[in-house]
């Protein structure tokens, strides 16, 4: 069994402030450690379920947050950013049996995480697909579906986990924290590790086909920017339309074209 793990940090247990996610800040190291623990737990759960090959994408900020020596020897780790439109699931293809998401967070425009955002948190206010707010899970679970790989597990904040259930109720989740205004309420870090390992194992021992997500026949992408100047500039991207001073749209039946647009416009 070949498994892919995409690891982010803003949905890691206890994280509440941007300083805890940024490599050069003093608060970062202890939360980096917890991110590593949660990814390791997912790897160990996968191994218990029979995974003989695991790929991990270090998918936060610099792409240099994980410590490769902590993980099982059957693990390959993607560090840094190639610039491929698959972004946080770079190298994912139809040879994988399942994809897991750890440390993920609620979408831009959400109230469920103080650090809620979708892709570029500085320029992008929100992203919508077919009128619904899209999280980074949405974007990359659809990428997985594009190559025929089921998304079977997600850990992160409670709001995201509830949204995941709307995609497919068979996807297992572990909610490690809940956002309330600028605060978070988190479970114990050790409990998060235990639950992630257990739920990943159970997810991969289940019928993976039940977790497949069906792609829409057409995609209406909407990107809302913090500044009208960004929206104006990006409205000149081929196929993009300026629908209001801070919002552009893009329509395609090919999801890869949506991912390409997100890559260049966020």
User: Among 84, 117, 188, 228, which one carries the catalytic annotation?
Assistant: 117
User: Binding site annotation covers 217?
Assistant: no
Give the DSSP H or E segment for 7. Answer: strand 2-7
Instruction: Give the single-character DSSP code of 105.
Output: -
Residue 228 is a catalytic residue = no
Rg (CA), the chain: 17
Cα gap 75→78, rounded to integer Å? 10
Helix (H, G, I), strand (E, B) or coil at 132: strand
Residue among 9, 14, 10 at smallest CA distance from 189: 14
Residue among 83, 76, 73, 60 at smallest CA distance from 12: 60
Residues in a beta bridge with 185: 178
User: Binding site annotation covers 257?
Assistant: no
User: Binding site annotation covers 8?
Assistant: yes
How many other CB atoms are found less than 10 A from the CB of residue 44?
19
User: Binding site annotation covers 188?
Assistant: no
User: Binding site annotation covers 136?
Assistant: yes
Cα gap 206→145, rounded to integer Å? 18
What's the gap between Cα 230 and its chain centre?
A: 24
Cα gap 39→26, rounded to integer Å? 22
Residues 6 or more apart whose CB falls under 8 angstroms from that of 103 comprise 7, 8, 9, 10, 11, 12, 35, 38, 39, 60, 155, 156
Annotated binding site: 8, 10, 60, 105, 136
Active-site residue set: 117
Annotated binding site for Zn(2+): 8, 10, 60, 105, 136
């Amino acid at each position: 069994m070949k498994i892919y793990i995409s690891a982010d940090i803003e949905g890691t247990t206890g994280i509440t402030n941007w300083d805890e996610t940024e490599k050069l800040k003093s608060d970062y190291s202890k939360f980096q450690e917890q991110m590593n623990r949660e990814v390791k737990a997912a790897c160990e759960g996968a191994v218990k379920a029979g995974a003989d090959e695991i790929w991990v994408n270090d998918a936060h900020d610099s792409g240099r947050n994980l410590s490769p020596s902590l993980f099982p020897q059957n693990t390959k780790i993607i560090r840094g950013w190639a610039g491929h439109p698959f972004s946080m699931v770079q190298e994912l293809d139809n040879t994988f049996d399942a994809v897991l998401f750890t440390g993920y967070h609620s979408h831009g425009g959400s109230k469920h995480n103080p650090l809620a955002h979708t892709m570029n948190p500085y320029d992008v206010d929100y992203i919508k697909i077919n009128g619904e707010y899209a999280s980074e899970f949405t974007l990359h679970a659809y990428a997985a579906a594009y190559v025929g790989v089921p998304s079977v597990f997600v850990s992160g904040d409670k709001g995201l986990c509830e949204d995941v259930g709307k995609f497919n109720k068979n996807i297992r989740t572990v909610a490690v924290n809940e956002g309330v205004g600028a605060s978070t309420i988190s479970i114990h870090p050790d409990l998060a590790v235990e639950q992630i390992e257990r739920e990943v194992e159970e997810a991969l021992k289940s019928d993976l086909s039940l977790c497949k997500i069906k792609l829409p026949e057409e995609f209406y992408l909407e990107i809302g920017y913090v500044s009208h100047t960004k929206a104006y500039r990006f409205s000149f991207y081929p196929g993009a339309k300026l629908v209001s001073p801070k919002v552009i749209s893009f329509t395609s039946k090919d999801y890869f074209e949506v991912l390409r647009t997100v890559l260049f416009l966020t």
